[in-house]
Amino acid sequence: MALDVAETTEAGEIDLQDPNLFINRELSWLAFNRRVLELAVDPTIPLMERLKFLCISSTNLDEFFEVRVGRLKSQLLGDAQSVGPDGMTPTEQLREISGVAHDFVAEQYRILNDVLIPDLEAEGIRFVRRTKWTEKQRRWVKRYFNEQLLPVLSPLGLDPSHPFPRVLNKSLNFIVSLEGEDAFGRESGIAVVQAPRSLPRLIRLPKSVGKGDYDFVFLSSIIHAHVGDLFPGMKVKGCYQFRATRNSDLFVDEEEIDDLRGALEDELLSRHYGDTVRLEVADNCSEDMWRFLLDQFQLNEEDCYQVNGPVNLNRLMALLGEVERPDLKFPPFVGTVAKEVLRNDSLFDTLQQRDILLHHPFDSFATVVDFIRQAANDPQVLAIKLTLYRTDADSALPQALIDAAHAGKEVTVIIELRARFDEERNIRLAKALENAGAHVVYGVVGYKTHAKMALVVRREGTRLRRYSHLGTGNYHPSTSRLYTDIGLMTADRDICADVHKMFIQLTGLGQALKLKKLKQSPFTLHSWLLERIGAEAEAARQGKPARVMAKLNSLTEPQVIRALYEASQAGVEIDLIIRGICCLRAGLPGISENIRVRSIVGRFLEHSRAFYFHNGGEPEVFLASADWMNRNLFRRVEQCAPIEDERLLKRVIDECFQIYLDDNTHTWMLRPDGSYIRLTPGDDEPVNAQIQLLEQIAEFPPA
């Protein structure tokens, strides 16, 4: 993108409202998913992990279609052609998405067929195609079909009394072309076979019929080979797998409901059968068949994706559990428990002396679980308050809350029922907590509670003392080993008082309360960000050093982007580490030439959110639950907390910023046109930020 593309105002200044200065968020997300896919061909990554990245890219794309494409298509149905800062209408976005997504899917299957499958075979891990089955294998597969599949398969012939069935979202199905009459004289010619989700998509052959320990056949291959058995006396002319993706973006009219949980439970029942947004079919499917399917799902030709392989790549993830080859996976690690935690039996004793910073997964999440568990078991603790957006319902943390409620402590849990794709789990957890006697609140209608915070109230002598945990990630022990996040544990009176006020706002009624140290959405965080960026810009205009650094998941909010453009024009040095969506254009002469945007994609999902401001040589560092997105700043409850301990402040600068700015192996740099280019070490020493942090903090084998 050249400078002359940007429009100017009447005064001759660059117009920062110009849509050309903004990258479309959906296309930016697709660029992120391509970075994930690139790891599937990275020779420095163990083979089974490369397969996992292929699967992750498939799961990501499913959710993109279920939510983002689903929402755009809903806008079209409502005849809404509203545009965002980039100026693209829903129609234009869908057209661009289709082109990029088709190329992406073709690349996924090229990598599977031309790279991963041959590499797996070289390691003795084989997908045995039905054209290559030996006689012994055919007999075993036939027996497996008769004993394990035939009893649960229900072929559905199509005729006037049997219309096209309701196909479950993302389920495996087969469209079958038939010839001949059935027992009742019907001659429809078309049938559908649905594969229950309970059936494994990969079946491991026993050693007695395989060539090695790890020979597998696809469920689809077995059904293809024996589909004729489902239609006795008929001739099968063709059998083709297909999969439909449906709009899964739940809609609940919060102004018209009295019971949010009940409304969501009702809405969840319809998620599996929302409007179809994508059709995937085998690439050998005849044109008349895929066009027939498009008609049934009321889709257009650009919504059809023909694939050379299984229609659900994510189901290949099962291979990681089946193949016991540690040499083909990432080496294990153990998160470290901070030394200051180990010195005392009580976390409360430790926090009375100093704050604790946790950088997950390098620091163990067990410390956070112990914080809640100790609070549940401590007779001096009177109350526990916690926000839950996503969690592992079977982990020790929810159980500790239940134990605390059973022990008679005042337990208040704010559960965000609308955490996408975790709604059912959160509803079950809410019921379990209520049954234990905890107070369960579902946040504020119209605002998702995305803040990650816990508060413990403890009686110490004649007074009450509060302790808090504030984080960037969810209270989810399982994902804490897969995501990078940072958390602050503190007994700071002002911070704990602010957390208490935020809980009062979430559970009660009243005006927004003034906070001393925390910034919060939707009230103060956005205006404060603009103020802090503006202060750095003013310093630069005065010829003083000025710098902004931010580590985020996404950047989309237009006012923040314009503030960053203005700061760059003033001379502020800006480094943004943004894993996913970035709508800002970096490196535009005269506009953003002082802004550098990099994306780190590696073993762990980069999820931590931290902000740095130079502040005249006295750096300020904050951790937050919020990205710089419209929804986080205006439609969610979020918290942002300062890191005031000099020791911890230095840790955040070193571990969340500097080491990532030095990374030259898993970094992609954003170019002005919205594309990304991966850095290579060249003649420099390779730096992998995530591996270095594992070696520095966790118990991890050295490289």
> pLDDT, tens digit, for every residue of 645-686?
999 999 999 999 999 999 999 999 999 999 999 999 999 999
Buried residues in 183-220 as b, exposed as e (16+ CB within 10 A): eeeeeeebbbbbbeeeeebbbbbeeebbeeebbbbbbb
pLDDT at residue number 185: 66
Q: Are residues 513 and 524 in the same domain?
A: no
At 618-634, the pLDDT tens digits run 999 999 999 999 999 99
Q: Which residue has the higher pLDDT, 2 or 27?
A: 27
Neighbouring CB atoms inside 10 A of 394's CB total 12
Nearest-angstrom CA–CA distance, 425 and 585: 38
Q: How far, rounded to the nearest angstrom, does the alpha carbon of residue 281 sit from its chain's CA centroid? A: 26
Confidence band, pLDDT 50/70/90 cuts, at residue 642: very high
Helix axis angle for 25-38 and 90-111, nearest 10°, is 10
Q: What is the CATH number of the domain that holds 157?
A: 3.30.1840.10
Q: Say if 327 falls within a structural domain.
A: no
Confidence band, pLDDT 50/70/90 cuts, at residue 64: very high
The catalytic site residues sit at 450
Q: Are residues 553 and 439 in the same domain?
A: no
pLDDT at residue number 174: 96
Q: Are residues 544 and 512 in the same domain?
A: no
Strands (E), 341-478: 356-360, 381-388, 410-415, 439-441, 448-449, 453-460, 463-471
The DSSP string of 154-213 is EEEE-BTTBPPPPPPTT--EEEEEEES--TTS----EEEEE--TTS-SEEEPPTTTSSSS
79-88, 607-616, 692-701: lowest mean pLDDT where?
A: 79-88
**Looking at the DSSP assignment, which residues form a beta bridge with residue 442?**
none
At 207-216, the pLDDT tens digits run 999 889 999 9
Main-chain dihedrals φ then ψ at residue 88, nearest 5 degrees: -90, 135
Q: Is 371 left (phi over 0), alpha (psi -120 to 50) or beta?
A: alpha
Q: What is the DSSP letter of 587?
A: S
Q: Say if 561 falls within a structural domain.
A: yes
pLDDT at residue number 442: 84
Q: Say if 703 falls within a structural domain.
A: no
Q: Single out the residue in 517, 546, 566 at which a domain terminates.
A: 517
pLDDT at residue number 389: 85
Q: Are residues 349 and 471 in the same domain?
A: yes
Structural domains in the chain (count): 3
144-153, 431-440, 467-476, 583-592: lowest mean pLDDT where?
A: 431-440
Q: Say if 363 falls within a structural domain.
A: yes
Residue 421 has pLDDT above 80, yes or no: no
At 91-128, the pLDDT tens digits run 999 999 999 999 999 999 999 999 999 999 999 999 99
pLDDT at residue number 107: 98
Q: Are residues 236 and 284 in the same domain?
A: yes
Confidence band, pLDDT 50/70/90 cuts, at residue 251: very low
Confidence band, pLDDT 50/70/90 cuts, at residue 511: confident
Buried residues in 124-149 as b, exposed as e (16+ CB within 10 A): ebbbbebeebeeebeebbeebbeeeb
Nearest-angstrom CA–CA distance, 506 and 497: 14
Q: Are residues 598 and 618 in the same domain?
A: yes
Alpha-helical segments (H) within 548-596: 558-570
pLDDT at residue number 268: 47
Q: Say if 104 falls within a structural domain.
A: no
Q: Are residues 630 and 530 in the same domain?
A: yes
Neighbouring CB atoms inside 10 A of 388's CB total 27
pLDDT at residue number 134: 95
Q: Are residues 478 and 415 in the same domain?
A: yes
Q: Are residues 601 and 683 in the same domain?
A: yes
Nearest-angstrom CA–CA distance, 430 and 425: 9
217-221, 252-256, 290-294, 370-374: lowest mean pLDDT where?
A: 252-256
Main-chain dihedrals φ then ψ at residue 176, nearest 5 degrees: -120, 130
Q: Single out the residue in 517, 548, 579 at which a domain terminates.
A: 517
Nearest-angstrom CA–CA distance, 92 and 81: 10
Q: What is the CATH number of the domain that holds 432?
A: 3.30.870.10
Polymer length of the chain? 703
Instruction: Look at residues 218, 199, 192 and name the one whose alpha carbon lies nearest to residue 147.
Output: 199
Residue 606 has pLDDT above 70, yes or no: yes
Mean pLDDT of the chain: 91
Nearest-angstrom CA–CA distance, 538 and 341: 42
Q: Say if 352 falls within a structural domain.
A: yes
Q: Say if 49 falls within a structural domain.
A: no
Nearest-angstrom CA–CA distance, 208 and 182: 39
pLDDT at residue number 371: 96
Question: Which structural domain, as residue segments, surrounds residue 221?
Answer: 150-320
Q: Say if 38 falls within a structural domain.
A: no
Q: Are residues 686 and 569 in the same domain?
A: yes
76-80, 257-261, 630-634, 662-666: lowest mean pLDDT where?
A: 257-261
pTM comes to 0.92
Q: Are residues 371 and 445 in the same domain?
A: yes
Residue 554 has pLDDT above 50, yes or no: yes
What is the number of helices (H) and of strands (E) in the chain?
A: 22, 27
Q: Are residues 300 and 349 in the same domain?
A: no
Confidence band, pLDDT 50/70/90 cuts, at residue 391: confident
Residue 263 has pLDDT above 60, yes or no: no
Residue 187 has pLDDT above 80, yes or no: no
Confidence band, pLDDT 50/70/90 cuts, at residue 166: confident
33-37, 93-97, 251-255, 268-272: lowest mean pLDDT where?
A: 251-255
Q: What is the DSSP letter of 611?
A: E
Half-sphere exposure (Cβ direction) of 329: Cα atoms closer than 13 Å: 13
Which residue is listed with tokens 């290579």?
680
Main-chain dihedrals φ then ψ at residue 93, nearest 5 degrees: -65, -45
Q: Single out the residue in 451, 482, 517 at which a domain terminates.
A: 517
